[in-house]
Amino acid sequence: ILERGYVRPKLPEINTLSDVVSLLRNSENILVLCGAGISTSLGIPDFRSEGGIYERVQARYPFLDDPQMLFDLDQFLVDPRPFYEFAAEIFPPEEALRKPSFCHRFIAQLERSGKLLRCYTQNIDGLERAAGISRTIFCHGSFDTLRCVKCNRSRAICEQDRHQIRRGNVIYCERCTGEEALHANDKRSSLDDGLASDSEDSCGSDGFDPEPVMKPGIVFFGEPLPQEFFDSIEDDLRRADMLLVIGTSLQVAPVADMPRSLDASVPQILVNREVVARARIQFDVELLGDCDFIVRLIAELLGWSDKIGDTERCS
């Protein structure tokens, strides 16, 4: 247990970009912790930057006291439209799925090189999967599954849902609305996880009868993180020999607590546009600027540009 007010001391021997490159060369159990910043180059806005989702939500839905209410379950049950309109903005376009950002591809190369212990992503756009990073923990869930807030039936996302989400449309439960037959041919979309039987008491238990809306499997405020996070975090924090934080403002706990939960001797590097203001976090090196540019430079210094299939050069 860390003392109140404790700030991890900076490691005196890790100061420069070339120290970071040597660390990456020599580390074998790298923890990556990433956020919305690694997807902004693909046209997917983050939350807190200028022009980001929070600003847009405030302009569009002034009646929402706090833009974070987009991820409030009660708000979703009352009116799912603001959430689905937001979802359209961050749902990755086809081009992004075909070619994720340089940062995604760099993390995939860390994995191919046998150096990646785990990639903890706060992102819900699923681009880590598209980049082939199999050692990913989706800390805030993903759009891969949808669950009806009325009957509690859960199923995998299908192509038709993707179209709907990209258009900002609310997805309704085809079973509750009697449109199941429309999906009957899409066998892959039916991932009944056996929870349908405990349906009726899920969200309408306080007397409120919600519309049969499908809620994507992303974590809303007040919901627990996916079990896979709790299954791996302790062991990963123990085994890590380096932490690389990319493109996040580190505002959302418990993921944001990872840096200060590591042993103080483990080097911690930040790649971000801005310093991270969260108290009690001390990085050894802060590489501030566009993350694709910085990571591309690191890849060049590691001699990895060809492995990542990169045609652009920084130098």
By CB under 6 A, name the binding residues for ligand CNA. Answer: 35-37, 39-41, 44, 46-49, 52-53, 90, 122-125, 140, 247-249, 251-252, 272-274, 290-291
Query: Using alpha carbons only, how large is the chain's radius of gyration in Å?
Result: 21
Q: How far is the CB of 24 from ligand CNA (least distance, A)?
A: 18
Binding residue per annotation — 151? yes
Binding residue per annotation — 291? no
Q: How far is the CB of 14 from ligand CNA (least distance, A)?
A: 20
Binding residue per annotation — 203? yes
Q: Please list, in sequence order, all residues whose beta carbon lies within 8 angstroms of the beta carbon of residue 242, skipping any fewer than 6 positions away.
A: 23, 24, 27, 29, 30, 31, 266, 267, 268, 269
Residue 182: which region, alpha, beta or left (left: phi > 0; alpha: psi -120 to 50)?
A: alpha
Q: How far is the CB of 40 from ligand CNA (least distance, A)?
A: 4
Which DSSP category does 170 fall into? P
Binding residue per annotation — 176? yes
Complex with ligand CNA: residue 7 or 288, whichever CB lies closer: 288
Complex with ligand CNA: residue 46 or 85, whichever CB lies closer: 46
Q: How far is the CB of 152 from ligand CNA (least distance, A)?
A: 23
Contact 74, 83 (CB under 8 A): no
Complex with ligand CNA: residue 153 or 283, whichever CB lies closer: 283
- 183 as an active site residue: the answer is no
Report the sign of the C-alpha dihedral through residues 150, 154, 155, 159, in that order.
Answer: positive
Give me the torsion for CA of 204, 208, 209, 215, rounded to 10°.
-60
Angle of CA points 26, 30, 33, to nearest 5°: 145
User: Which helix (DSSP H) or strand (DSSP E) does residue 112 occupy?
Assistant: helix 102-112
Q: Considering 104, 140, 163, 183, which one is annotated as catalytic?
A: 140
Complex with ligand CNA: residue 204 or 226, whichever CB lies closer: 226
Burial class (CB in 10 A: 0-12, 13-18, 19+), 99: middle
Task: Please report the DSSP string for 237-295 in residue order.
Answer: HHH-SEEEEES----STTGGGHHHHS-TTS-EEEEESS----TT---SEEEES-HHHHH
Complex with ligand CNA: residue 251 or 282, whichever CB lies closer: 251
Complex with ligand CNA: residue 54 or 304, whichever CB lies closer: 54
How close are the terminal C-alpha atoms of the chain, in Å? Answer: 44
Q: How far is the CB of 196 from ligand CNA (least distance, A)?
A: 27
Q: How far is the CB of 22 from ligand CNA (least distance, A)?
A: 23
Q: Please list, in sequence order, all residues whose beta carbon lies within 8 angstroms of the beta carbon of residue 235, skipping any fewer than 6 positions away.
A: none
- Just list the catalytic residues: 140
| Binding residue positions for Zn(2+) | 148, 151, 176, 203
